[in-house]
Chains A and B, each alone.
Chain A
Amino acid sequence: MSYEIKKAAIIGAGVMGATIAAHLANAGIESVMLDIVPPFDPSEADLKKGLTKESKAWRNSFAVNGLNGAVKSRPASFYSKKNASMVSIGNLEDNLDMLKDVDFILEVVIENLKIKQELFAKLEKVIKPDCIVATNTSGLPIREISEKMSAKNKERFLGVHFFNPPRYMKLVEVIPGETTKKEIVDYMTYFLENVVGKGVVICKDVPNFIANRIGTYDISNAVRTMLDKGLTIPELDAIIAKVLGRPGSAICGTIDLVGIDTGYHVMKNLVEAVPNDEMVKTFIPPEFMDKMLENKWLGNKTKQGFYKKTKDEKGKRVKLALDYNTMEYVPFTKPRYESVKEAGKTEGGFDDKLKALFYSEKDIAGEVVREYLCKNFIYSANRIPEICDTVYQVDNTMKWGYNHKKGPFETWDAVGVKESVEVMKTLKLKVPKKITEMLKKGCESFYTKKEDGKYYYDFDKKGYVKMEDNPKIILLPDLKAKNKVIKENAGASLVDIGDGVVCLEFRTKMNAIDGDVISMIEDSCDIVEKDFAGMVVANHGTNFSVGANIFQVLMAVQNAEWDMLDKLIHDLQYALMKMKYLEKPVVTAPAGMALGGGCEISMHGQRCQPCGETYMGLVEVGVGVIPAGGGCKELMVRCTEGLPDGIGAVLNMQPIYEKVLMNIGQAKVATSAMEAMELGYIRKTENISLNRDHQIWDAKELVLGMAKTHKKKKPDMIPVMGENLMGIARAVLFNMKHGNYMSDYDEHVTMKLAWILSGGQCLEGTFVTEDAILDREREAFLSLAGEQKTQDRIMHMLTRGKPLRN
């Protein structure tokens, strides 16, 4: 039997339920979201608003509030607020019929076994016989939740555990029940990975599954270590931090974010749920946390937890940290550790820095890290096969669900398994038998690479087992290791990704665009035209590209190397135009930030295959210049293309060009690929890759499809407003300036932009060539670069990392 989820239902419109519905909408899945009818009477205020116990608005109010919350949530849950219309709402008493045609139903209600069981008994009566049924429980046993279900329904029942916030957290734990059909588990994995864009880890039906078992231990262990070593809260957070590959909020900051109460109850529950766990005592919350709970110091939601942000008498913002001995808040000072500092400066990659800290004898930080990590390692090893069978499952959950840079076994590999076992012995920690066994067999790491791929050490098979390749995951470093590099320089490489398609990858810092990158774009075009079917422009960086290397620009300006700067811009324009009009298809695949030049490159592909999480914008005015790599030109093309012949010349293009002027003039950045479409940076006809791991594959498939019929594009002609746009811009900017919405210099820069967009001293409705606009971009860029205030802006950005409004 085959399954296909076209319509889903979410039961329970709390934060988690509503934001899951939001992300399903992002994935193009319509859903029904139901919650209970409020179990209390409308208040006076409600009655005044015309709400009664019988009114629909009142009966649906939980679901309505949930959806509104998701629309307003920050960071945004929806790619675009427009997606909210894909979620229909109702209540569990009046609207059960809305469930009759859904293909998938996910329960996200309160963690109470009886309530869940009763709910499923109710749902069973209305759903389709092939509807997949799931619970988003974070800890209750799947076995018990489904206890009272019919055998038929149990076959279609499983745990599908999203992490908060679902749009941004990659992990989904899938927990099959004892009799769940394999085809259901397989389909859900496919659906979650390919449609919803998540990373799936299959878990066993044990308390807290994988992530929250290992994760809770990780946090409890850190807090215990803090108490044992007499560290302060800020001290702990300074050590278990970036060098260990932890998120910026570290340990205590993360608990503040999640809520002390939530963390506390997860710990408490584990004490009861896993009484035979050898480390069960670690889960007992320390006494000071009892007091925090009593005082309702629950973290960010009550404005104080481990930390408290407040204002002093002068109104200056101050950060305080809890002294858990006195239970008083004391001023926060950032602790400094020589060992941490040195580790950060250690040559090499993440592993080298971590290793340096792990073995450091400089101060207490090394000691803390050793003890904390060793305990983590041992605990994780002891959980196999209790919670899952492989090391990579544990690693994936911690990376995808807890934002750790590396999972415990990968971290263990980084510090060296053999050496760390010696450390464990000196710390008098019990080294798991399976680890000594592994070392005895000569296997000194959990992961290893061989000719034919990546292997992991399997405790059960007592040897390395090959990890399954996913053909949809194209990893450029792996291909490079296999000599698939066609050409490379210091800034970029061209990699053969198979089937006649190449991938142009940037590799500068933050993927900034410099001379090397530009020349590589040009060279790549030549190579592709001659020898390949087409090209993908993509990389694995956090950010596709943050734009031009402004340091290089500033140096050129300060040395008055105007010809050089002119050539640099000219080269970029030339390279991008070459890409746009290549005889072979070029697909750009932006993800993360694609700003300034990065946005321009994305826009010059013949097609674009963005990742859902693409943050795109032409932000040049922030440093006092305007897009000069064809960004203005291309946005003009995008916003005026598709008009039937004869329309452009007579159309009132005022709203169109005002939009272009404001997008660039106010440096508007889209916060998703969908928003980038709304702003005009990406064509609305493009598809979005929700799963970034699959993005290069998606783009490659697009190239291959295009290659079959591809013809070189006819040059674009752009309808412009001529001088009339200058008049409009001047009037609009005048008001903005007088309303204090922009400075004199903002106005000056934006007028330069208007000068470009006007297209020349011509009549409204004239069509101009792309080259005409590119020339104006270059001229305006150079003239602005020569101005002191622009240079001040660039300098400010380089030194402070944020724009200067001068």
Chain B
Amino acid sequence: MSEAVIVETVRSPGGRYRRGALAQTRGDEIGIQVLKGLMKRVPQIKPEDVDDVICGCSFPEAEQGMNLGRVIALGAGLPITTSGMVVNRFCSSGLQAIADATAKIMAGWSDCIVAGGCESMSHIPMGGWIFRPHPEWGDRPMTYVSMGITAENVAADYNITREDQDKMGVESNRRAHEAIQKGLWKDQIIPIEAWKYGKDKNGQWVKTTKTFDMDDGVRWPATLENMAKLKSPFKQGGSATAANSSQMTDGAAFTMLMSAEKAKELKLKPIAKLTHYAVAGNKPEEMGVGPRYAIPKVLKLAGLKLDDIDLFEINEAFAAQAIYSCRELGIEDRYWKGEVNPNGGAIAIGHPLGCTGAKLTCQLLNELKRRKLKRGIVSMCIGGGMGAAGIYEML
């Protein structure tokens, strides 16, 4: 069996929902620019070397419809011989794409694949433009429950206090702010020529572009006092607020995978590999607990223990579920030591749904490299009641 290795991983900066720098840029355009940037980073790979583009997307419709994977591949200038597809497992789609690519390469069915994710939440609402739940599922509405309600359920059922949630809210922003100040993300980001529609001097609507090169969602300084003033938009008297939940964000991230042989042939130095990947199901109404089941499942597959993992990226969909997952896994102290979400998470820089798994992969591999560590896990909860987790090993 072949070994599948990652030779490069990049991401766009995250643009805040509707008010951020990417709010007026089409989702596919963000993906196209990131893929172009990735190709430039590895000039050894000729466009025709790329066999397939697998793109994660949670709401693949409208601008993200029409097979986003193929659209992005052609848009980025890859030849017609390069194929493309979309995978959707909601919030884990980006990681799922990398896992699928890995499996394909390991099976020997392909030797070079670009995998990742792309999502414009500003343009396609959660639930999609055309939301059609099954009309006869009166007894199973949980399938379509809103994510905010699931966070409230987790907080209420497992006693995650408002204060704990807000603390993570502040810490996430603090870490992200520090990371930006230190310039930790500069190398991993592909700047985007963001679209902007506005009126010119003559009052005519025109499109202009502006370079956007750093995540714009971080709220700093953030204080517990200010956060405590917010109310839950999901539930009257609830505890999940805009400040302790992930931001809705636009972004794309892609990773270049190939067989170890191909890398050798092209004289590329592999960075890392995805050694194991698992998805676990849980109750839809408390979907956020997913990592608590997925991480043990993937560790069991790998025959590893939590202690064998140096860094974690556990998606902060909501502070409530992230805290719960850490607590149940027994790694809450490691969060405060900076081994979980070392540079902040989705609360500070956003959760662009289908892109998130690929984005966290990019962040994790760069941080493992910087700290010269060996192993890390990317994990997230998934709408509908699931958790996904993947183990990366640096090479």
Contacts and interface: CB of A to CB of B under 8 A. Distances in A.
A731 B236 CA distance: 18
A738 interface: yes
A143 interface: no
A659 interface: no
Interface stretch (A106-114, A323-331, A721-729): A721-729
A725 B132 CA distance: 8
A373 to B, nearest CB: 51
B149 A727 contact: no
A739 interface: yes
Q: Name, among A724, A728, A731, A735, the residue most crowded by chain B CB atoms within 10 Å (CB to CB).
A: A731
A728 B129 CA distance: 12
A730 B146 contact: no
Contact of B132 (A728, A738, A740): A728
Q: Name, among A723, A728, A738, the residue most crowded by chain B CB atoms within 10 Å (CB to CB).
A: A738
B283 to A, nearest CB: 14
B133 to A, nearest CB: 4
A734 B141 contact: yes
Given A654-B130, A724-B132, A735-B145, A730 B138 contact: yes
Interface string B339-372: 0000000000000000000000000000000000
Interface string A443-462: 00000000000000000000
A740 B236 CA distance: 6
Interface string A708-743: 000000000000000111111011001100111100
B145 A734 contact: yes
A738 B149 contact: yes
A652 B129 CA distance: 8
Given A734-B145, A735-B146, A728 B133 contact: yes
B145 A738 contact: yes
A661 to B, nearest CB: 13
Nearest to B237: A740
A750 to B, nearest CB: 14
A736 to B, nearest CB: 9
B152 interface: yes
A724 B134 CA distance: 7
B235 A652 contact: no
Contact of A734 (B136, B144, B152): B144
B169 interface: no
A723 B137 CA distance: 11
B131 interface: yes
Q: Which secondary structure characterizes the binding site on chain B?
A: loop
A728 B144 CA distance: 10
Contacts of A725: 135
Given A652-B129, A739-B235, A739-B238, A727 B145 contact: no
A115 B69 CA distance: 70
Contacts of A652: 129-130
B132 A741 contact: no
Contacts of A726: 135
A516 B49 CA distance: 83
Nearest to B285: A738
Q: Which range contains the number of A residues in contact with the other chain? A: 10 to 19
Nearest to A723: B135
Interface string B181-214: 0000000000000000000000000000000000
A727 B130 contact: no
A730 B152 CA distance: 19
B129 A741 contact: no
Interface string B132-172: 11111110010011101100110000000000000000000
A298 B106 CA distance: 81
Contacts of A724: 132, 135
A727 B137 contact: yes
A323 B134 CA distance: 67
Nearest to A734: B141
Contacts of A728: 131-133
B134 A727 contact: yes
B236 A727 contact: no
B145 A739 contact: no
Contacts of B132: 724, 727-728
Contacts of B144: 731, 734
A654 B131 contact: yes
Nearest to A735: B146
A739 B135 contact: no
A720 to B, nearest CB: 13
A652 B236 CA distance: 31
A739 B149 contact: yes
Contacts of B135: 723-727, 730
Contacts of B153: 738
Interface in B210-249: 234-238
Nearest to A726: B135
A730 B135 CA distance: 8
Given A723-B135, A730-B138, A739 B130 contact: no
A734 B284 CA distance: 13
A721 to B, nearest CB: 9
Contacts of A723: 135-136
Contacts of B146: 735
B134 A735 contact: no
A735 B238 CA distance: 13
Contacts of A730: 133, 135, 137-138, 141
Contacts of A739: 148-149, 152, 234-236, 238
A654 B152 CA distance: 27
Contacts of B238: 739-740
Contact of A738 (B130, B131, B137, B235): B235
A168 B354 CA distance: 52
Interface string A645-676: 00000001010000000000000000000000
B152 A731 contact: no
B133 A731 contact: yes
Contacts of B237: 740
Contacts of B149: 735, 738-739
Contacts of A740: 235-238
Interface string B95-124: 000000000000000000000000000000
B131 A731 contact: yes
B236 A741 contact: yes
A723 B130 CA distance: 14
A728 B130 CA distance: 10
A366 B286 CA distance: 69
Q: Name, among B132, B153, B238, the residue most crowded by chain A CB atoms within 10 Å (CB to CB).
A: B132
Nearest to A738: B149
Interface of B: 129-138, 141, 144-146, 148-149, 152-153, 234-238
24 contacts: A724-B132, A725-B135, A727-B132, A727-B136, A728-B131, A728-B132, A730-B133, A730-B135, A730-B137, A731-B131, A731-B133, A731-B141, A731-B145, A734-B141, A734-B145, A735-B146, A735-B148, A735-B149, A738-B153, A738-B235, A739-B149, A739-B152, A740-B237, A740-B238
Interface of A: 652, 654, 723-728, 730-731, 734-735, 738-741
Closest 9 CB pairs of A and B: A727-B135, A727-B133, A740-B236, A739-B235, A723-B135, A731-B144, A735-B146, A726-B135, A734-B141
Given A734-B144, A739-B148, 16 more contacts: A652-B130, A654-B130, A723-B136, A727-B132, A727-B134, A727-B136, A727-B137, A728-B133, A730-B133, A731-B131, A734-B141, A738-B145, A738-B149, A738-B235, A739-B152, A739-B238
